[in-house]
Amino acid sequence: MLENALLDGALTATLGGYELRLGLPWIRSMPLSCISGITVTTDGYSAPSEDVNVRLHDRTVPAGSLVNESGWWFIQDRLVLAFPAGPVSRRKSEGRHHVSVDFNLLVPYLRGGGDGPLVLPIHVESWIGETCEGSAGAARDVA
């Protein structure tokens, strides 16, 4: 499951930083409201959590507000994370970048410890290549 979350070419440089297309590292599609605590690190720079946004079709929402969304993250789709690149000295102009993403995945149909549902801490990381803006690849973005 984790090996398909960050595919080569999933990182796109933008004017303000990067967009990252993240695959769902789980066996079933999940409601967007089950995703929380997203953090993104690129080449050693951790973007402040309040600066990480999610692009949902024609609008952008703060990553922290996904708990209020009614849409779904289907397993074949990519969640588009937009975040700042960090200090210029750490940003590479081209080539491969070390990217990691951490978030919590609430699994509403599985029981966790106590009376609540299971909450899984997810960590994915990879060295991935950067693409040009507008070349999202074959995977569809979450709408």
Indicate the residue type of 13. A
3-state secondary structure 118-129: EEEEEEEEEEEE
Q: Where are the domains of the chain?
A: 2-136
- Helices and strands per DSSP (H, E), number in the chain: 0, 12
**How confident is the prediction along the chain (143 residues), in pLDDT tens digits per residue?**
567 899 988 999 888 899 999 999 999 999 999 999 999 999 899 999 999 999 998 899 999 999 999 999 999 999 999 999 877 535 555 578 899 999 999 998 888 877 888 899 999 999 988 776 555 554 556 65
Going from the C-alpha of 78 to that of each of 66, 93, 118, the distances in angstroms are 15, 24, 23
Q: Coil, strand or helix: which one is 81? A: strand
Q: Are strands 140-141 and 77-84 parallel, antiparallel or unpaired?
A: parallel
